[in-house]
């Protein structure tokens, strides 16, 4: 196809670039929450999905802000009714992403970020193939151990279990779209911004898949 045949059609493109569903996954303690918060400060229109969980809140956590803390019966009821976009069991507790707020934000033309574990990220890929999946890693596992210890919220045995789980989660890396090493915070946030902008300009998200539609 010659370029001059495409150029006159450019006016048919929507002036608004597509909004995205962005999944941020990685081991516990890698700094996903800090990355997301820093990104949201610069992009306040982006919607952060608040996960639901059956685990007990930590002393620094607020219901409806950090998580929606639910009784297990309520969580299971939401799951059976299809009210969760994804759900998974992590370290003996249930986690999930309420479907309705995500769908509402996407319908409003807003980007959506899901900060979820690897199991949940893969389920989102199955449900919404066009989602953008980012896998966040620490610079080293020694640094990850240091960060987990610095939180002072878990026993040494629990921390070791989390490190073992992190190594298993690496097996899912080929199923993600991007690898992000969270070494220097500002550089990692800038990388997320670059990925989002690149995906927003991806031809497959803008140009109709059928050539016939494009040439009409």
Give rounded-to-5 percent helix, strand, coil for the chain: 50, 20, 35
Pairing of strands 84-90, 93-98: antiparallel
What is the C-alpha separation between 9 and 112, in angstroms, rounded?
Answer: 30
- The whole-number pLDDT of residue 11 equals 44
Dist. CA 62–CA 16, nearest whole Å: 36
pLDDT attached to residue 28: 80
pTM of model > 0.75: yes
Q: In the chain, which stretches have pLDDT less than 50?
A: 1-3, 6-8, 10-11, 13-15, 212, 214-215
How large is the greatest C-alpha to C-alpha distance in the chain, in angstroms?
A: 65
Neighbour-count burial of 121, counting CB atoms closer than 10 A to its CB (0-12 exposed, 13-18 middle, 19+ buried): buried
Note the pLDDT of residue 213: 53
CB 88 within 8 A of CB 117: yes
With beta carbons less than 8 A apart as the criterion, state whether 59 and 91 touch: no
Which residues does 83 contact at the CB level (< 8 Å), separation at least 6? 98, 99, 100
d(CA 24, CA 191): 13
pLDDT at site 68? 94
Q: Give the pLDDT of residue 194.
A: 97
- Residue extents of the structural domains in the chain: 19-205
Q: What is the pLDDT of residues 8-23, one digit of tens each?
A: 454 454 446 789 999 9
Question: Among residues 22, 47, 4, 17, which one has the least CA distance to residue 200?
Answer: 17
Least Cα distance to 118 among 90, 153, 99 occurs for: 90
Model pLDDT, residue 16:
65
Residue 14: the pLDDT is 46
Decide if 51 contacts 59 (C-beta within 8 A): no
Report in angstroms the alpha-carbon separations of 43 from 22, 36, 46, 65, 113.
13, 10, 6, 18, 11
CATH superfamily of 19-205: P-loop containing nucleotide triphosphate hydrolases (3.40.50.300)
């Amino acid at each position: 196809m010659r370029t001059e045949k495409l150029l006159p059609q450019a006016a048919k493109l929507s002036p608004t670039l597509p909004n995205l569903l962005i999944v941020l996954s990685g081991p516990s303690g890698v700094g996903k929450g800090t990355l997301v918060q820093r990104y949201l400060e610069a992009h306040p229109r982006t919607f952060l999905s608040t996960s639901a969980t059956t685990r007990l809140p930590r002393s620094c956590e607020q219901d409806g802000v950090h998580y929606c803390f639910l009784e297990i019966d309520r969580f299971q009821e939401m799951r059976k009714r299809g009210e969760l976009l994804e759900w998974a069991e992590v370290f003996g507790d249930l986690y999930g992403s309420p479907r309705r707020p995500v769908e509402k934000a996407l319908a409003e033309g807003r980007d959506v970020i899901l900060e979820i574990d690897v199991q949940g990220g893969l389920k989102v890929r199955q449900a919404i193939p066009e989602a953008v999946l980012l896998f966040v890693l620490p610079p080293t596992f020694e640094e990850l151990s240091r960060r987990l210890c610095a939180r002072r919220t878990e026993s040494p045995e629990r921390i070791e279990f989390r490190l073992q789980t992190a190594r298993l989660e690496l097996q899912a890396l080929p199923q993600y779209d991007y690898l992000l090493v969270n070494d220097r915070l500002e550089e990692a946030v800038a990388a997320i911004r670059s990925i989002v902008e690149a995906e927003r300009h991806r031809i497959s998200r803008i140009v109709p898949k059928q050539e016939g539609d494009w040439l009409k």
